[in-house]
Amino acid sequence: MTTVHVVNGPNLNLLGTRRPEVYGTTTAAQLEELCRAEADTLGLELDFRQSNHEGQLVDWMQEIGAEAAAGRTIGVVFNPGAYAHTSVALRDAIEGAGTPVVECHISNVHARESFRHHSHVSAVAAGVVVGFGVGGYRLAMRGLLGINQG
Provide the annotated binding site for substrate: 79, 85, 92, 106-107, 116
Catalytic residue among 5, 23, 83, 120: 23
CB count, 10 Å around CB of 25? Answer: 11
**23 catalytic, yes or no?**
yes
Contacts of 28 (CB under 8 A, 6+ apart): 8, 12, 13, 14, 15, 16, 50
**Burial environment of residue 16 by CB neighbours within 10 A (0 to 12, 13 to 18, 19 or more):** middle
Catalytic residue among 5, 83, 105, 120: 105
**83 catalytic, yes or no?**
no
- Which residues belong to the active site? 23, 105
